[in-house]
Amino acid sequence: MKWGICGAGNICSDFCSALQLLNHDDHQITAVAARDINRAQKFAEKFKIPKAFGCYDDLAREPTVDIVYIGVIHTEHGHLSIMMLNNGKHVLCEKPATLNLKELEKVLKVAKDKQLFFMEALWSRFFPAYEKVRNALDSKSLGEVRYVQAEFCQPIIHRERVFKRELGGGGLLDIGIYVIQWALLAFKEKPDNIFTVGHLHETGVDQSATIIFKYKGGQMANLTYNTEIQSECTASICGTKGRIQLPFPFWAPTKVTINDEEMEFPLSSGEFKFNFPNSAGLSYQAECVRKCIEKGHLECPLFPHSESIAIMTIMDEVRQQLGVIYDVDNMES
C-alpha cells in the first residue's frame, strides 16, 4: 500500500518512523506535502520519500498514492479529508477527525459516496493491550462494569495549537478525546447524562475539565483532562467481579493488568527516534488499515464510523457545557 503523508510535523514524523517497522512490501511512502515546500523536502529526505509537494492539492492528485495520512492542525482535518476522498484516496485522519459532528457527517458522506476507506486515527484501539481489554469485556470476566476512570493531564497549554481557538485548540480535542474513548470502550454506548465542570484559558479554549458519565443503570465514569499539570495518566475499568488497570500512558499502553494478572507487550524499535511516548505503536494502526483496505472494507471493525460519531457527539456536548465555541460551529450546514 502506498502512503501519502499530509503534513510534516511531529506526529507525521512518528507515523513514518512507525511505518519503517512494518514490511516494506506492504507499506511504502511515496509522497509528502506541507504548506512549506522546504519542510516537505527535508521530511522527504529524512524518510527517503520520492516526492515532496508544497501544497496539499498536489498530494491529492498524485497517482502513486493509495491512502493519505492526515496529521496537520485540527482545523484542517475536515476539508483535507474531503479533498483527498474526492481525488480517490483512502484516508486515515488524525484525531479529532473534525471539529464538530456536522463536519464529521460531511466527511463520512463523501467517503460513503466515493466508496473509499476512511478512519479517524484513534490509535489506542489497536494496541495489543486494548485487545486484551476488549476480550475481558466481551467474556464478562469483570462481571458487570459499574465504574470507569481515566485521567490525562500533561502541561501542553503553552503550545500554539493548544491555546489558540482559531486553530481548534483546547484540551478536549487534543487529549480529552482519549478519556472519552476509554469510557465508551467499557460501556459500549453513550451515557444518558453528561456533567462537565472545567476551566477556560484566557483565549476561550478549554484548559481542563472533569466529565462525569451517568447511565440509567447507575454506571458511572469519572474522566479528567488537564493541559496545565502532569498526572499519572492512568485508566481503569471496575466490574462486579474484577477490574482492568492501564498504567501510563493508558492511551498507548505496553502493559495491562486484568484481575491482578499483568501482561506486557513490548514495542519494536527502529532507525528513527520518536517524539511522543510509545509512538512505535502507530504501526499497529497502520497495519490494521492496510488489512481493511485489502479486504475491501470502507471502515475498520475495531474503530468504526459509529464510534467516531459517538465520541464527536459527546465532545460537542462537553464543549457546549464548557462554553467553547469554534468558528465552524456557527457555519451553515
Architecture of domain 2-123: 3-Layer(aba) Sandwich (3.40)
pLDDT higher than threshold 90 for residue 272 = no
pLDDT higher than threshold 80 for residue 332 = no
Regarding the domain delimited by 128-264+303-329, which CATH topology (the fold level of the hierarchy) does it fall under?
Dihydrodipicolinate Reductase; domain 2 (3.30.360)
Q: What is the pLDDT of residues 117-156, one digit of tens each?
A: 999 999 999 999 999 999 999 999 999 999 999 999 999 9
pLDDT value of residue 271? 82
Question: Could you tell me the end-to-end alpha-carbon distance of the chain, in angstroms, rounded to an integer?
Answer: 35
**For the residues 78-87, what does the mean pLDDT come to?**
99
Give phi and psi for 259, each to the nearest 5: 50, 45
CA atoms in the 13 A half-sphere facing the CB of 51: 21
Question: How far is residue 267's CA from residue 295's CA, in Å, rounded to a whole number?
Answer: 26
Which cell numbers hold the place of 234?
492512568
pLDDT value of residue 287? 99
Contact 275, 267 (CB under 8 A): no
Q: What is the pLDDT of residues 161-207, one digit of tens each?
A: 899 999 999 999 999 999 999 999 999 999 999 999 999 999 999 99
Q: Is pTM, for the whole model, over 0.95?
A: yes
Helix (H, G, I), strand (E, B) or coil at 303: strand
Confidence of residue 234 (pLDDT cuts 50, 70, 90): very high
Q: What is the pLDDT of residues 24-81, one digit of tens each?
A: 999 999 999 999 999 999 999 999 999 999 999 999 999 999 999 999 999 999 999 9
Give phi and psi for 276, each to the nearest 5: -120, 155
pLDDT higher than threshold 80 for residue 228 = yes
Mean pLDDT across the chain, nearest whole number? 97
pLDDT value of residue 153? 98
Q: What is the pLDDT of residues 194-227, one digit of tens each?
A: 999 999 999 999 999 999 999 999 999 999 999 9
Question: How far is residue 172's CA from residue 316's CA, in Å, rounded to a whole number?
Answer: 10
pLDDT higher than threshold 60 for residue 333 = no
Name the residue among 184, 171, 175, 146 with its Cα closest to residue 249.
Answer: 175
Spell out the domain ranges in the chain.
Answer: 2-123, 128-264+303-329
Dihedral angle sign, alpha carbons of residues 193, 195, 201, 207: negative
pLDDT value of residue 331? 82
Confidence of residue 1 (pLDDT cuts 50, 70, 90): very high
* Residue 181 DSSP class: H
